[in-house]
Structure 1
Amino acid sequence: MTNSRRSLLVLAVTSGLVLGASTAIAAPSADAVIAEVYGGGGNSGATLTNDFIELANRGAAPVSLDGFSVQYLPGTPSASSTWQTTALTGSIAAGKRYLVAEGKGAGGTVALPAPDATGAIAMSATAGTIALVQGTTALTCKTAADCAADTRVKDLVGFGNAVVREGGSAPAPSNTNAVARAASLADTDDNAADFTAVAPTPTNSKGESTGGDPGPAPTNAKVHDIQGTTRISPLKDQKVANVTGVVTAVRPFGSSRGFWITDSQPDADPRTSEGLFVFTGSATPAVAVGDAVTVAGTVREFYPDSPATSNFQSLTELSPATWTVDSSGNPLPGATSIVSSMVPDAVAPQPGGNIEALPLEPSKYSLDFWESHESEIVSFTDARVVGPTTSFNELYITAKPEQHPSVRGGTVYLDYDKLNSGVLKVQSLIPFDQRPFPKLNTGDVLTGVTSGPIEYSNFGGPTLQASVLGAEQDNKLQRETTRKQRAGELAVATYNVENLSPLDTQAKFDQLAHGIVDSLASPDIVTLEEIQDNNGPQGNGDGVVAADQTLRKFTDAIVAAGGPRYEWREIDPQDLTDGGQPGGNIRVGFLFNPARVSFVDRPGGDAVTPVGVKRVHGKAQLTLSPGRVDPANEAWTASRKPLAGEFVFSGRTVFVIANHMNSKGGDQPTHGRFQPPTRSSEIQRAKQATVLRGFIDQLLAADSRANVIVAGDLNDYPFSPAVKTLTAGGALTDLIATVPESERYSYVFEGQSQVLDHLLASKAPRGIDYDVVHINAEFAQQASDHDPQVLRFRPSAGNAIGDAFYDLLDYLDQLLGKYLPKP
């Protein structure tokens, strides 16, 4: 995933000096230029029904377009691709626009204003090339160099990943964004410098905008008038003017540049924010902190995806905007100093739908509290880190450190209605060459003041854009280790190794191996999740499904780390059927130490053959080992299939079932605009749990004293419907639910320490000793995003006499271990 707030298109157009001249495109145009391009008309989420191309005249005299055309080429042209043309007539007055309507889609609700020319080109919404051409004969060039040499080309822009472009390719637009030149119509001959992505504003030669009229005059507004008392501005999509404020922060880099202002004269309503973001696209704003500015622009609600279908909250902003600097060096409005008591425990109202229209209640709900301070400067003192620094240069802090604290400095997610409302993300507005982003672990502290404007991020919810970062206090969080299993104990562990393939670095293999050997003390059996095939995602759809090279490299690394020579068992999936990273063919599998435990191999298991249970001499037995559990069941569509294996330890049979249930992809975010969020992925996991529980019931029906261990990444919580299905009636115990609440986590997501990985045991295992070994999830440097778990126990012999005998041997073993310790 990416961490940018939006994907921007920066579109620059170069042209000849005058429209009638036959010049190369290397010289900027003195008059006619391509001003705006939009290819999302009629697409999903679009408001406009048509694509369009808008021209503009930056010169002082009218320019004739008779005999000219606009032409379109796909972003990545093939040998058969051709330029599509639309002929132009008439002229562009000085300082005016010229609108060319193109292809109409099936969606959208708003027609273009009356176009000056009409074509039928169905342009891409994300990548392509538009040229303004002297003549109506289709161009033939298909490279940037060839098109630059064609003197018929007056102006050209390549956007998205376009092959034909001037300078750098402009970023991609979308169904809801056009690419538009700045109001100055500047032309620097670089497609990555002159244009930005903005909401489409088609304007014809009469000055009519969307809807066929120029619209009302701008409304004079204060910041709090724009922000309003709900999540959506009461002035949404309206032009405003004379918006005054002091610049409090600037984002001078990245694809979402702009600046924040705060009105120094607030109103008395706690629901209305006095801060506002002024979006400038990829252009660095020419303002400084402390400038008093007067801004004009259009009020927009920015969503990170389609506004019509988005699950996320919006950010109120001005885009496009113009401004004047009235004075500089002004004192900044005071920041709101956040303390725990200010942030409510409840996250959001729960109306069963969209909360955007509801009046904000900042004293009752944390999302309302942050919304009421949107784009204002807030500050934290000695902020505790609850989510480590990620590869996207972000971390998570909490405003409520007393809220469900973990034993190691995090904050634990304990139930659907116990989300930690004090957690928020921190990113930096400080250029990294001035201050590298802190590399912090859970439990570390940003000492002193950390402050900046608050906004919303689709990945992480409320987000502090820090213009001031506190000092980094390393609280020396240590990676855990667990004890070695005794001679009479069987140790079973589970570990999600995060898309492991031979393409990964040796360093990752080595760190994972040391986790097995040093942290987990070389368990007897390890269930692995996210083992990829031999060429990982590199071979998407090439038919490679074997993972022997992956597992060989891993087991070799374990030996090099001082561990045993593990053997493995797994079943290759069918190509591209089990979900996960495209092409990786992830699967579950077993590692086992043959010096301590035996694997019962029963042939016949493959990707499509289901494992069964039979009763032999009063004991349960698998028909296949290893074997997949009901792999054709629709519950496992595009998901990993459980793998059952039969092991023997000291003469006692143990059944281990490795799992990796479907992901939470598609669920609405806990911090989004729909409350309560719909957890759509739970439907499939509920089906998977039902199928898996049915197989476990078969095992226990064949032998009620069977040693059954269910292990793996269930992608769900101890309090989820899926896990409750597995534990219903006491058939299995979810071991992570037996530890103190402050220790119930194996994964950290958006600053919430939570459970996705589980070890569940039937009633037969005795002397259970369970441990979550924290070596990854809380650390900025991690081999996997999951922490492993280990279970040590004495398997049942299946009858009282046998259990008593083994209990005696185990007791003697413990005595010997106590009084005659091994060197």
Structure 2
Amino acid sequence: MASKSSARLAALTVAAVCSASTIVLTSPAQADSVRVHDIQGSTRLSPYAGRQVTDVAGIVTGVRGYGSSRGFWIQDPRPDADPATSEGVFVFTGSTPKGVAVGDAVTVSGTVSEYVPGGTSSGNQSLTEITRPTFTVVSSGNEIPAATTISARSVPRAYAPEGDAEADGSVNGLPLRPSEYALDFYESLEGMNVRVADARVVGASDPYTELWVTVKPRENANRRGGTVYGSYDSQNTGRLQIQSLGRPADFPDANVGDTLAGTTAGPLDYNQYGGYTMVASEIGTLESGGLERESTRRQSDRELAVATYNVENLDPSDDTFAAHAEAIVRNLASPDIVSLEEIQDDNGTTDDGTVTAGATVGKLIDAIVAAGGPRYDWRGIDPVDGQDGGQPGGNIRQAFLFNPERVSFTDRGAGDATTATQVTKVRGKAALTHSPGRVAPADAAWEDSRKPLAGEFVFRGRTVVVIANHFNSKGGDQGLTAQYQPPSRSSETQRHAQARVLNTFVKDILATQKNADVVALGDINDFEFSTTTRILEDDDALWSAVKSLPRSERYSYVYQGNSQVLDQILVSPSIRWGGRLSYDSVHVNAEFHDQISDHDPQVLRFRP
């Protein structure tokens, strides 16, 4: 799903206020002196949006002098009695604030604005700000207002209210009910100084000095310390993103299962990369949870081991080949067949028409040998330049690695980027007209997306058809903290179409040979409980083998503190019911700050 995203880094430099991302409300131009809680109001939109305010009093609780959203937070030390109205607000200065420091008592005049991180088309909630400010420091060295504790007891169990049908499902105009809904609770603290205590890490530190914690460590927990996303109703209310208001060098390198012991505190912000975020001026002491990378068992002589591994835009210039090889040899126990996703062409993102990937795959194969593994052979099909999505110029595709000492590949009329493989019958058994071949590459379902790669393998005299996939990403979906509840998942439309194409292809194989062994695997970019998966499984043509694991162990990816399934291995009925199936999600990447890919590989073992 995710990749080495220069796009996000670029997004961080976008101006913090622009007409495309600021909600403009028509109202009188001038307001008398008001308090912060008056500005925040009891809904998500300020009743003063678009109006000038004067002499808003508060204590400075944080100063942000970096990034695109520079300014400072103020909080009124004399709160009102309404739990729905926040006492804090962000003052957007645009440039590094001068002449103001934490502990200053200030009065601020300016324009109240509702800024939508990511732009109004993102569906995100808005952040109430005072923009174009002038301010006066009244006194310095004041004690800042005590931080409000966010805890398992204070955060409600329900995540969000149902959006207003008359407002296209938006929650913006609904009265905040902070004792009933988690999103309302967080909104009621927007801009305020907040704290968490002894918070468990559920999303590892990333290169942007961010991590995720939970204040509800028992909420959908797994044995490795994470928080599992097991349904669309399991948004996990205790999750909170932590950024640093201090030096990036001081930010901890945390893994899932670690703890920020003691107090972590700072103003509560809202951004496009996770919604409600504590910008911490104080970070607890990192205590290791002792998380270690997993290793799966080696397959027996009679078991075929098939794996899927998204290697995250691998190209010859990367320095991760030895680490990937170690993962394949040590942690995955050298599977017989490996479906690789996100293999880039031989010069990576250089956009010069290159589409071959022999150098990329060859360098990985050599690294596997150096790590003590077998010398894998490989098969793949070069895409048409620029037609399969991913990083521009990278031409990502799937590729098969296979151990020729254990399995053989049936080369039959090798296909190309635009020629579809079909199902035929050879000596009474289902076969592919092109092996390797692509499944329906001209179908609109695969527009600007990776086309499935199919191939025939033979293990102990039995043919297994393997189909490597990388479905459309979730880009464009609204976030869990969106103003629209439930949020829209627009990217599903293309994945549903892709799932129907693949399901139909598998049904063609099974109609030709009822007991055919078929494995469809890869980065499906969707959950095991999703409609995408149900379409893949339609009429029992396939079954997602990750569902053989306990619910708390079903995950291959960690996103915004949610451990979730994106990578799957689906099998035909003959494998599900007759192959003594063994499935393992091998956690070597997604939970670690020093990951070499954002995906964990999956391994299936069975007896054909």
TM-score range, shorter chain: over 0.9
CA distance in 2, matches of 1:6, 1:585: 26
TM-superposed deviation, 1:345: 2.2
Matched, 1:454 2:268: yes
Aligned pairs for 1:622-701 (under 5 A) are 622-701=432-511
Matched, 1:440 2:250: no
TM-superposed deviation, 1:260: 1.2
Query: 1:779 is matched with which residue?
Result: 592
Query: 1:476 is matched with which residue?
Result: 290
Contact map agreement 1:4 1:255 (CA 8 A) in 2: no
Aligned pairs for 1:709-724 (under 5 A) are 709-724=519-534
Query: 1:493 is matched with which residue?
Result: 307
Contact map agreement 1:254 1:282 (CA 8 A) in 2: no
Larger radius of gyration between Structure 1 and Structure 2: 1
TM-superposed deviation, 1:199: 11
Unmatched segments (≥5 aa) in structure 1: 10-171, 178-197, 201-209, 796-823
The one-letter code sitting in structure 2 at the alignment partner of 1:471 is T
Contact map agreement 1:5 1:304 (CA 8 A) in 2: no
Query: 1:412 is matched with which residue?
Result: 228
Which of the numbers 346, 349, 364 marks the counterpart of 2:161? Answer: 349
Matched, 1:746 2:559: no
Taking a change above 3 Å as real, the CA distance of residues 726 and 358 of structure 1, as seen in their structure-2 partners, is: same
Query: 1:465 is matched with which residue?
Result: 279
The one-letter code sitting in structure 2 at the alignment partner of 1:367 is L
CA distance in 1, matches of 2:33, 2:97: 26
CA distance in 2, matches of 1:658, 1:441: 30
Q: Percent identity?
A: 55
Query: 1:314 is matched with which residue?
Result: 126
Contact map agreement 2:209 2:248 (CA 8 A) in 1: no
Contact map agreement 1:258 1:285 (CA 8 A) in 2: no
CA distance in 2, matches of 1:615, 1:349: 55
CA distance in 1, matches of 2:28, 2:270: 30
Q: Secondary structure at the match of 1:770?
A: strand
CA distance in 1, matches of 2:491, 2:65: 39
Taking a change above 3 Å as real, the CA distance of residues 722 and 8 of structure 1, as seen in their structure-2 partners, is: closer
Aligned pairs for 1:793-812 (under 5 A) are 793-795=606-608
Aligned pairs for 1:202-221 (under 5 A) are 216-221=29-34
Aligned pairs for 1:347-426 (under 5 A) are 347-351=159-163, 352=165, 353-426=169-242
Which of the numbers 333, 348, 361 marks the counterpart of 2:145? Answer: 333
Which of the numbers 20, 23, 45 marks the counterpart of 1:232? Answer: 45
Query: 2:3 is matched with which residue?
Result: none
Cα offsets for 1:704-724 (capped at 9, x unmatched):
111111110000001111100
Aligned pairs for 1:141-160 (under 5 A) are none
Q: Secondary structure at the match of 2:57?
A: strand
TM-superposed deviation, 1:612: 0.9
The one-letter code sitting in structure 2 at the alignment partner of 1:449 is T
Query: 2:356 is matched with which residue?
Result: 546
The one-letter code sitting in structure 2 at the alignment partner of 1:227 is Q
TM-superposed deviation, 1:174: 5.4
Contact map agreement 1:4 1:256 (CA 8 A) in 2: no
TM-score scaled by length of structure 1: 0.70
Unmatched segments (≥5 aa) in structure 2: 1-6
CA distance in 1, matches of 2:162, 2:187: 16
Which of the numbers 726, 730, 733 marks the counterpart of 2:543? Answer: 733
CA distance in 2, matches of 1:672, 1:408: 29
CA distance in 1, matches of 2:562, 2:210: 14
Q: Secondary structure at the match of 1:536?
A: coil
CA distance in 1, matches of 2:328, 2:156: 42
CA distance in 2, matches of 1:702, 1:316: 61
TM-superposed deviation, 1:677: 1.1
Taking a change above 3 Å as real, the CA distance of residues 643 and 217 of structure 1, as seen in their structure-2 partners, is: closer
Taking a change above 3 Å as real, the CA distance of residues 767 and 6 of structure 1, as seen in their structure-2 partners, is: closer
CA distance in 1, matches of 2:256, 2:9: 20
TM-superposed deviation, 1:6: 5.8
Query: 2:117 is matched with which residue?
Result: 304
Taking a change above 3 Å as real, the CA distance of residues 280 and 8 of structure 1, as seen in their structure-2 partners, is: farther
Taking a change above 3 Å as real, the CA distance of residues 513 and 5 of structure 1, as seen in their structure-2 partners, is: closer
Taking a change above 3 Å as real, the CA distance of residues 286 and 553 of structure 1, as seen in their structure-2 partners, is: same
Cα offsets for 1:759-817 (capped at 9, x unmatched):
1111222111110100000000011100001111100xxxxxxxxxxxxxxxxxxxxxx
Cα offsets for 1:438-459 (capped at 9, x unmatched):
1100000000000111111110
Q: Secondary structure at the match of 2:153?
A: helix
Which of the numbers 491, 503, 515 marks the counterpart of 2:317? Answer: 503
TM-superposed deviation, 1:8: 5.6
CA distance in 1, matches of 2:113, 2:13: 16
Cα offsets for 1:311-333 (capped at 9, x unmatched):
11111111111111111222222
CA distance in 2, matches of 1:175, 1:299: 14
Query: 1:569 is matched with which residue?
Result: 379
Contact map agreement 1:6 1:304 (CA 8 A) in 2: no
CA distance in 2, matches of 1:286, 1:3: 29
TM-superposed deviation, 1:604: 3.7
Query: 1:105 is matched with which residue?
Result: none
TM-superposed deviation, 1:465: 0.6
Contact map agreement 2:64 2:96 (CA 8 A) in 1: no
CA distance in 2, matches of 1:584, 1:216: 51
Taking a change above 3 Å as real, the CA distance of residues 596 and 571 of structure 1, as seen in their structure-2 partners, is: same
Contact map agreement 1:414 1:754 (CA 8 A) in 2: yes
Taking a change above 3 Å as real, the CA distance of residues 266 and 4 of structure 1, as seen in their structure-2 partners, is: farther
CA distance in 2, matches of 1:361, 1:582: 45
Q: Secondary structure at the match of 1:684?
A: helix
CA distance in 2, matches of 1:392, 1:686: 33
CA distance in 1, matches of 2:516, 2:532: 22
Cα offsets for 1:138-184 (capped at 9, x unmatched):
xxxxxxxxxxxxxxxxxxxxxxxxxxxxxxxxxx985559xxxxxxx
